[in-house]
Structures are given as structure tokens and as C-alpha cells.
Structure 1
Amino acid sequence: MTAHDVARALPGIEDLRDHCRGLAMLDAVLSPEWDARFYSFDAHWDEGEQMASMRDGMGGEYAIVFSAAGAYVRGFDHESLMSPWARMDTPRVWPGVLDDVPDVFRPYVTEPAFCDEDGVTTVTCCLWRGVGDTAWRTGTIAFPEEADGDPDGANILFELLVDRSPEAYAGWASEYYETPVDVEAVRALLAQRPLTPEIVAVLNPDVDLADLAEDISEIGYPA
């Protein structure tokens, strides 16, 4: 799977935003310690902008900026042959990944939070969708011939954005957090149902709803 396949599998902007909120809220309940979480959502990232993010702790990450213009998705797999640092004397983004990004999303290409200390964008795959678009878009890319079926890292990075089922998250979280995760509780949060003490207790008996007040506010999740 590549960014091209992900583009065909993602839902509309608002549905993706809600799903990202649900992932972030689930991780907040299961992992009180922010540093151990995979998924986050900042409803107040910047004026008029929200950001969903993932970081796997091993160099893989993505960021999705939601704005009045639409949504911009940046993914980075440090093991990909398409990494700016993979096989080039002078680090540079793989041809085509960012070349077609529309002007309205160009500020995110050079956003310091998405670049290294030398200003090189940390990216191996990129997608975007304007508010008037009927589909997600990507650049025209010639993928490295020697790469496997996941040349740009999109398959692993966006796994739970492509498969948005409660079962997919519950299976992943059960393994990652090393604890059983209730599928129906996951279903409730992915559907944006209001968080209740009962749902929290089912997911993590060591956390109270009151403990999540700051996370709920940051994520913008229904109280």
C-alpha cells in the first residue's frame, strides 16, 4: 500500500477528523501518561487549525492539519527508502511527494514542526484534500523499484485510518497496551458518543472521568 491507496481509502474530511478525535480519546483513557500514547489530537493547535498526530516511538509519525482550507496529511517512515536521509548525500524529499501540494497547503510543507533543524521536511508520504475536492490527492510519484509493498510507509503509518473498525483498534491496542480492550467501548468513542464514567471504567478502571478533563478539552471530545 502507498499514499495513492490510502487516498482512495480515507473518508471525507469531517469523518476523518472525528475518527482521529476518537483515536486520541481512546489513547488518553488507556494511557494516562502522554509520552506513551500513539494518537493525539490538538483542537487548538493554531488559530483556525486543529492537528491530529501519531508517533510510534521508533521514528514513524504522521500529522494531519485540519483548517478552513481542508486537510493536509504528512507521514514519515524513517526506515523507508524514500526518507530524505535514506540514500542521498544531501538530504532532500523524494521527487513528487510534495511537488504538487497546492499553494493553500504550502505553509505546512515548511512548517518548523514538520522539518528537521536544517529545514528539511521529514516526510515520505503526503496527501491533501481541499474543502471543494471530491477526493484525497497525492503527488505523481515513481516509487523506488527495490522497495517492498510499503515503499513510503503509508501502509503501517495509516493502518488505523484505513481500517477504521472498532475491532481493528481494539486488536491493536490490546497488543500495544498489553491489556484486553473492550470493542463496544471502542465503538462508542469512535462514534463520538459522550464520554461517561462507565465507558472509562470499562476501558481503564484505574482512571476516573475527572482525570481526563484536560485531555477532553485539548481533544475537543464531546463531554
Structure 2
Amino acid sequence: MIEQLRTQLKTLALLDAIIEPEWAFRYFSFDSHWSDEEEVGSLRDGSGGQWFLWIKGDLAGYKCLSPDDGCMPDLEVVLRETPEAYQGFIREPAFSMDQATCIWFIQNSDCVRYGLPVQFLIDLETVSQWKAGDYLEWARNYYERDFDLGVIEKIFRGEFSTELAQTLNPQINLKDLQADLLEIGIT
């Protein structure tokens, strides 16, 4: 389960890095070098909605804040009851832990969920099921331009080349993209 999430989030981050060179305007990102042992995938919608997926070995923690869905009323209880293995994630200031709509903990294939349902933000469950066509439909709406489905399908299959990147975004600066590839963990 964790490996599938990692692969999917890296794919989405790669596509966004190709399509939108400015990191601040991307929806999806992935840092495969958050620390020596940790990786982080994230989504930011530009309107206060955000989530983070923290991965460390066979552990994963998910924190989502969807202002339109509200904040979980028992966040302090969940923070106190969080297993020790997740304390680094749950207390990390970069993940805006003072508010949350929901928090999940994933270990092996078990998922423990706290909080409210998310309806007004694309959540982890949704993007984990996306195929190339789903990303294409979303990207057309978000970036307000058209993209080549065949190229997106290849990237979803794990194929990547500078030629594919240039087909998706003819103005891509390949030197800048190289730095993004290193951060995402695409070699």
C-alpha cells in the first residue's frame, strides 16, 4: 500500500513539475529526501486546503486540512494518543499540525483514521486511484490548457524522458527540471 502511494504521488509530482515550472503554483509535490529516512508527498490547492503524506519505512502518516470541510474537534486527543513511531510526523511544524480535518496512520496495510470526511478537497484516497485520464481531466481544469493523454499515460507507466517532458511543456527548462527530478526521486 505504501509503495503504491509513493509511486502515485511521485508520478503526480513529476507531471506537475513538468507542466508548472514554478513550485509555488503546483498542486502536487514530493520530496524523497525530506530526511535521511523520510519522504513527504503533498497537495496544496492555493486556497488553504492542503495535505501531507509522510513516509518512513513501513510507516505512513497522512494529515489533511480542508477548510471547507472544517476541523476535527478532537485533534488534541488524537495528538496525545498518537503512537510513538509517528511523533516526528505529528509534531512537525511544516505540516501545520495545529489544525486538521483528518489524520490517518498507515502501517503495513492497516489504516487508522481520525477526523472528518473530506468532500471539498481532492484527498489521498482519490488521487491514489487516479489513472492518466483522471489526471488529464484535473490538469486541464487546473492549468487551463490541454495536454497529450498519450504522454501522461507513459509517465503513469513509469516511462520518463526529456522528450516526453518537452512534449507536455515545450517551454520547459530542462536544467530546472533536473533539480525537481532529484527532489522527487526520479533517476
- Do the structures match in fold with TM over 0.5? yes
Does structure 2 retain, via aligned residues, the 8 Å contact 1:42–1:51?
A: yes
Partner of 2:164: 199
Cα RMSD of the aligned pairs, angstroms, is 2.3
SS of aligned partner of 2:34: strand
Residues 1:112 and 2:112 aligned together: no
Aligned 1:7-18 pairs, distance under 5 A: 12-18=1-7
Does structure 2 retain, via aligned residues, the 8 Å contact 1:128–1:137?
A: yes
What code does the residue aligned with 2:56 have?
S
Q: Report deviation, 1:113.
A: 1.2
Does structure 1 retain, via aligned residues, the 8 Å contact 2:55–2:61?
A: yes
For the residues of structure 2 that align with 1:155 and 1:31, how far apart are their CA atoms? 20
Partner of 1:189: 155
Aligned 1:43-192 pairs, distance under 5 A: 43-82=32-71, 93=75, 98=79, 101-115=82-96, 121-130=98-107, 133-139=108-114, 151-153=117-119, 156-158=122-124, 160-192=126-158
SS of aligned partner of 2:111: coil
Q: Report deviation, 1:197.
A: 2.4
* Equivalences, count: 187
Does structure 1 retain, via aligned residues, the 8 Å contact 2:31–2:41?
A: yes
Q: Unmatched 5+ residue regions in structure 1? A: 1-11, 85-91, 144-150
Cα pair distance change 1:61/1:155, threshold 3 Å: closer
- Would you tell me which structure has more helix in proportion to its own residues? 2
Highest CA radius of gyration, 1 or 2? 1
From 23, 30, 41, give the equivalent of 2:19: 30
Q: Unmatched 5+ residue regions in structure 2? A: none
Q: Report deviation, 1:102.
A: 2.4
Does structure 1 retain, via aligned residues, the 8 Å contact 2:8–2:128?
A: no
For the residues of structure 2 that align with 1:134 and 1:163, how far apart are their CA atoms? 16
For the residues of structure 1 that align with 2:5 and 2:163, how far apart are their CA atoms? 26
Q: Report deviation, 1:214.
A: 0.4
